[in-house]
A and B are shown apart, each in its own frame.
Chain A
């Protein structure tokens, strides 16, 4: 696997991982995976210093700490939906007029929200999942030696980040980080924020290499 494929595969993994953490509560299995992987733990620097993170058994940690925090932050207080942050009125817009949904549809993708429990297609995790879809398309084009298509999909990622995900998620993640009480979710927010910003830079690098 060459470097380009590896890196983009890693982007997919990163989006998938963070999307999973944001879309619903963490489960024991996932938590154990994180705990046992030093590489993954690097994404949770505050947790590393949180004693209970290692001392409490995973089940209790999930049920007594993490799920409580997830519910408080993501379900009750800081709604992770673009429409909430981008509309003057601040309500969730689950209808066809949702701009993120428009973007998906206009670029040839349909969405089935029944597979999740999110209320609207502009949930931060769904938007991140859309990035995965686009990166996969980009890799397909690359494997077919179709530079034009590859470039087109990278441009679409850039456009989506600029017009949607990055337009609102930084402020959202900062608010969520502030609201969260566990180091775990503070880390999730911070890592997601930094990853998104760095990924935007990476997209630019890829575009430049294609232009050259």
Chain B
């Protein structure tokens, strides 16, 4: 044994001259985090991709023109013309990710030359996807609507006869109509004004404050055709509705029928973080029947049968429990296992049902683990492999990765798993979130956080710039949005609006129970929302929209044409990414960032000294001044509309939009958004130090990050003030005396006796906990029991055919049980394409060009071979409802045999397949014809009789000469593509509302046939009498209507987005 110490070693080692040289030199330092702040000097040849002009030069930046560069570049630099740019930040408006943009405005021509990224945006990090850069082509779209249009007097909706009108006339007419409705003041009238929005891309100005200020329950969204199933499972489990994964620091990224690494939410931001994580060694697993681009680059692609993703999750849970390899510390601390074990009736119920063999002998954590083992004993990998129709080895691999990744797992289940399937919420948030929680992967670095932790919803918070700050709770409950059949629906049942309006029997039934349901919507706003095309049962929408006894006044707020526009009364051209104000914040990473969308030409003009005549209409005036057209924006429009509805203030609406600084005048955007951004303490402090206002800061930089490293909010204590002797909760101080603790739950008890949970007690401290009634992660949901769904109160999955019959509410409508005929398939229509976003990209010639021939019907090679189908063949897809067996219609598309979809599953994205009724619109007195979606849609002929609709393409896409922005659009004469490589498939889909969440379940069973000699690609046939029957069957056979306990219309703790409803209206009138 040697006797030595450190000194000896170091002394001795000193003699090993060049000892380091003996090493092999295997290590190499990699590039540290890219910082966009570097390399900010003007250079003609940027060496780095993140090169960006220095901020202090944004108002005056010179750069060579592209054309000149081509002609005069290289060595002849003297001949290069420099463009005088001003860079104004804004935000992309194409998808929901809200990536930063900068508009590069040529000050000599007052046109935007290009859109680039915004380096101040900590989420998008100066980068954009194709659609971000394509914002320019949307801005100067040759078919852009240049001025407000009104349905020609004497014409009918759908005839497409239009006249030019003014914004003033539109404001006056709409305002007057709304005033007439509101003056009635009864319950019905509060349900007859509706603002229906697609993806809003703003956080509260319209979706909350505008509609709230009208005092109506009339906010309607697209959520139930998008993400309600994605939300529901999370809400009942953790009380938040959307995961916000920390992809960048994750070790294992699981995309469950989601494609976040290429085109899914949140597009390039998420894709970038996933790439960062993988560079550090993270694994990517994609569970998806289709080989998306994400699946293509994944370490493991699991092509599970659609709707069986929950089986995989639950099998993982089962093995983790069986082998006791789950994170016991986290589970013991955060699961509501005590509540579960104390619910004796429920345990007995599980035993009677056969889910539980033995009742627990006590109420300890060990007892809970024993119960878990018992409940999940049958969910083996072999069972799951059979259910999902995949090899067991894939599950083994996934399990290994889960164990390896520990608490650094992120999961995203935003798309087909949730949106495609009945009961999709089980496979998404319910089992998925519980699986992550079992590993302790909720909330920490590299794990999965939550929407509300990472989002700054501020758009409605500018009230202190107005005479009155916050509107009172609305005194109505609109059953057209929240029908009693779906008391737990996550959002409004928006796509059922025509069904509900046209169903006299349904209204009568509920009238008998004391509900007052209108049979008509008097004023209907559609904002960036195109229900005729994007909703299921589109022709049902057409039938309703053309009826003036159902829709009194239809207003289409959109920069461009859409299928719904044909059936409206007003088309009011609104601004795009660089033409409007919006505050937006999204949960793309564990930070709280917010961005500011702006009308960039207006801001540039104002920076150059221009002043509007009417400061409340500055955006409209600016657009007119630079020759951009009579394009306005919703914010200023709605402020002015409030004055048109309530000119004398007697309705109590005007005060919410009247400037505090200039009483009697509408609030300006500068005043309002300054008040909005002043709500951010850190930003305000920085602004104070810099000597600028928060508005100016955001105007100049466009983005702000209020907090970074936002993790484990559930563990954070509620701030306590010694002097006030009060706790802070959601910005308000609650005196200790008003706090009551029951078990470990902490309530604020108001004077009226009403109590709200504000936190829980852990380790002697009051901390946030989770937003569920128990404050814990609810493995057991008492809410589900109370609202008549006890069988789904714990994460569960049907084990066999018998179970599936009993638990049909959570069995996908395309489960393989139903796909029995030799030519039967599942159709997956809901995946995104990287260059398209539903209805928002038809106005980009660049996006439409690259969209061509990318969206045929994918069919597995073996299936195609079996059916004799070859590439390019027209095939007919007959849509069959599996609950009723009813065939609703068919469509004809082009087949592409491929191995990129699993056998038995077809894929065809419904983001394409646009159509138009006319090529151009003649406007009396206007010299040019207005083009209608000429390069992104096909001209169709629609024939209908007794509810049977047949659509056929008459004409494809042709080159044309544009009168609008002619220089920018001189290339439209070279348009080479003929069609849009997609079919209007949504029309054939009946409305299939999930019985619990209300989500429209998009996947469909189809029977595939080779098209006959009479069939043509693009043909669509649907019988809406049959879609009606299907809808009714789903409603009547599957739902369990309210009211719930104490006569409530929906669980009181469930959010009712976005504004408050008076307590009285939460209950059934009879209660």
Residues of A within 8 A of B (CB): 6-7, 9-17, 19-20, 23, 30, 37, 39-40, 42-43, 45, 96-97, 101-102, 104-106, 108-113, 115-116, 125-126, 129-130, 132-133, 136, 190-191, 194-195, 198-199, 201-202
Contacts and interface: CB of A to CB of B under 8 A. Distances in A.
A96 B28 contact: no
18 contacts: A7-B10, A12-B19, A13-B18, A16-B18, A20-B23, A45-B1, A96-B281, A106-B280, A109-B30, A110-B27, A125-B24, A129-B24, A129-B26, A132-B20, A190-B2, A194-B9, A195-B9, A201-B6
A39 B32 CA distance: 40
Nearest to A42: B12
A151 to B, nearest CB: 18
A128 B29 CA distance: 16
A110 B28 contact: yes
B690 interface: no
Secondary structure at chain A's binding surface: helix, strand, loop or mixed?
A: helix
A40 B27 CA distance: 26
A198 B23 contact: no
B610 interface: no
A15 B13 CA distance: 9
A13 B26 contact: no
A83 to B, nearest CB: 11
B4 A10 contact: no
B22 interface: yes
Nearest to B400: A97
A132 B20 CA distance: 7
Contact of B281 (A15, A101, A199): A101
Nearest to B282: A96
B20 A13 contact: yes
B27 A129 contact: yes
Given A14-B9, A97-B281, A111-B28, A194 B4 contact: yes
A19 B6 contact: no
Contacts, number: 134
A111 B8 CA distance: 32
Contacts of A194: 2, 4, 9
A30 B279 CA distance: 38
Contacts of A112: 26, 28
A111 B14 contact: no
A118 to B, nearest CB: 9
Interface string B241-257: 00000000001000000
A97 B13 contact: no
A97 B283 contact: yes
B27 A10 contact: no
A110 B32 CA distance: 12
A132 B28 contact: no
Contacts of B6: 198-199, 201-202
Contacts of B49: none
Q: Which 3 A-B pairs have the closest CB atoms?
A: A13-B19, A16-B19, A20-B22
A129 B15 contact: no
Contacts of A14: 9-10, 12-13, 16, 19
B17 A13 contact: yes
A109 B27 contact: yes
A13 B30 contact: no
B733 interface: no
Given A7-B10, A96-B283, A102-B280, A37 B24 contact: no
Contacts of A110: 27-30
Given A17-B16, A39-B12, 5 more contacts: A16-B23, A43-B12, A194-B4, A199-B6, A201-B6
Q: How large is the interface on B (under 10, 10 to 19, 20 to 34, 35 or more residues)?
A: 35 or more
B246 to A, nearest CB: 14
B474 to A, nearest CB: 50
Contacts of A37: 15
Given A11-B10, A12-B20, A198-B9, A130 B27 contact: yes
Interface in B486-503: none
Contact of A105 (B4, B20, B279, B401): B279
B76 interface: no
B325 to A, nearest CB: 10
Given A39-B15, A97-B401, A16 B22 contact: yes
Contacts of B25: 115, 129
Contacts of B30: 105, 108-110
Contact of B27 (A30, A42, A111): A111
Contacts of A130: 27
B2 A113 contact: no
A77 B24 CA distance: 23
Contacts of B401: 97
Nearest to B17: A13
A113 B21 CA distance: 17
B5 interface: yes
B11 A10 contact: yes
Nearest to A30: B22
B404 interface: yes
Nearest to A33: B16
Nearest to A98: B281
Contacts of A97: 281, 283, 400-401, 404
Given A97-B283, A102-B251, A105-B279, A17 B26 contact: no
Contacts of A136: 20
Contacts of A106: 280-281
Contact of A43 (B2, B24, B400): B2
A194 B9 CA distance: 9
Contacts of B21: 16
A198 B32 CA distance: 32
A108 B29 contact: yes
Interface in B114-144: none
Contacts of B1: 45, 190
A115 B26 contact: yes
Contacts of A111: 26-28
A199 to B, nearest CB: 8
Nearest to A104: B27
A4 B402 CA distance: 44
Nearest to A134: B27
Nearest to B12: A39
A136 B1058 CA distance: 56
Contacts of B11: 10, 39
Contacts of A105: 30, 279-281
- Of A96, A97, A136, the most chain B CB neighbours within 10 A belong to A97
Interface string B329-364: 000000000000000000000000000000000000
A198 B5 contact: yes
B19 A116 contact: no
Contact of A42 (B2, B22, B26): B2
Contacts of B14: 6, 9-10, 13, 39
Contacts of B23: 15-16, 19-20, 129, 132
A45 B12 CA distance: 13
Nearest to A38: B15
A57 B580 CA distance: 86
A7 B27 CA distance: 22
B32 to A, nearest CB: 6
B428 to A, nearest CB: 26
Nearest to A39: B15
Interface string B277-288: 001110100000
A13 B28 CA distance: 19
A81 B605 CA distance: 66
Given A13-B17, A39-B11, A39-B15, A45 B2 contact: yes
Given A39-B15, A109-B30, A17 B22 contact: yes
Contacts of A102: 251, 280-281
A6 B17 CA distance: 12
A134 B741 CA distance: 51
Contacts of A108: 29-30, 32
A179 B9 CA distance: 25
B28 to A, nearest CB: 5
Nearest to A18: B19
Nearest to B15: A39
Contacts of A101: 281
